[in-house]
């Protein structure tokens, strides 16, 4: 089991031992924790919020957060594996590292993300197939999470392209 198992969003069929992280002494324990591995770390509060909204496309794997003396300080966070991936990246209208896209078939260093809304349908949380690290959240889910009191999640704007018009879709 490696990092790519989480990055690709494939369903992980086996149980795994808790993943250990050492906390930075200045960390603010919000509902989403950035980390050196780029893994999405969700608090139990964020997990409950997603469940309350009806999101069923996330696997959660337990995390132990230790202090610098290796003492357990938190065990209420989880690595979130978003298992729905949608090929909706609009390569023509997005701004990104084109060389990496040509070489790897994956969008890297995205400055402006445009997605094809005709492909998205009623999805509320998914990864973009052409860029595994990008998670898209619908406006309805974003509003729900804010009302639920979720803290520490940065929602960046996304543009959606449909056949008739281009319109902003907040993520």
What is the tens place of the pLDDT at every residue in 102-125?
Answer: 666 666 667 787 888 888 888 999
Determine the pLDDT at residue 95: 76
9 vs 85, higher pLDDT = 85
**Mean pLDDT over residues 4-11, rounded?**
72
Best CA proximity match to 9, nearest among 101, 64, 110, 87: 87
Note the Cα 137 to chain centre separation in Å.
8
25/157 Cα distance (integer angstroms): 31
Percent of the chain whose pLDDT exceeds 90: 43
What is the tens place of the pLDDT at every residue in 14-69?
Answer: 888 999 999 988 889 999 998 888 789 999 999 999 999 999 999 999 999 999 99
Would you say the C-alpha torsion 34, 38, 44, 47 has a positive or negative sign? positive
H-run or E-run covering 66: strand 58-66
- Number of Cβ within a 10 Å radius of residue 53: 16
What is the tens place of the pLDDT at every residue in 139-154?
Answer: 999 999 999 999 999 8
What is the tens place of the pLDDT at every residue in 61-85?
Answer: 999 999 999 999 999 999 999 999 8
pLDDT at 101 over 70: no
Q: What number of CA atoms fall less than 13 Å from residue 87's CA on the CB side? A: 2
Q: Where are the domains of the chain?
A: 3-82, 85-170
**Residue recorded with tokens 């202090």:** 67
The helix/strand/coil state of 116 is: strand
Determine the pLDDT at residue 167: 33
36/164 Cα distance (integer angstroms): 41
């Amino acid at each position: 089991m490696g990092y790519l198992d989480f990055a690709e969003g494939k369903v992980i069929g086996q149980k795994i031992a808790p993943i250990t992280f050492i906390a930075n002494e200045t960390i603010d324990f919000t509902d989403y924790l950035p980390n050196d591995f780029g893994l999405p770390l969700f608090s139990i509060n964020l997990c409950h919020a997603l469940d309350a909204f009806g999101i069923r496309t996330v696997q959660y794997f337990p995390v132990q957060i230790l202090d610098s003396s290796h003492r357990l300080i938190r065990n209420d966070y989880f690595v979130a594996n978003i298992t729905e991936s949608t090929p909706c990246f609009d390569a023509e209208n997005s701004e990104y590292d084109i060389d990496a896209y040509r070489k790897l078939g994956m969008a890297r260093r995205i400055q402006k993300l445009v997605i094809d809304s005709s492909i998205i349908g009623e999805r509320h949380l998914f990864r973009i197939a052409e860029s595994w690290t990008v998670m898209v959240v619908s406006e309805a889910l974003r509003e729900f999470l804010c009302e639920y009191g979720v803290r520490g999640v940065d929602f960046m704007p996304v543009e959606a392209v449909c056949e008739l018009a281009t319109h902003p879709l907040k993520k």
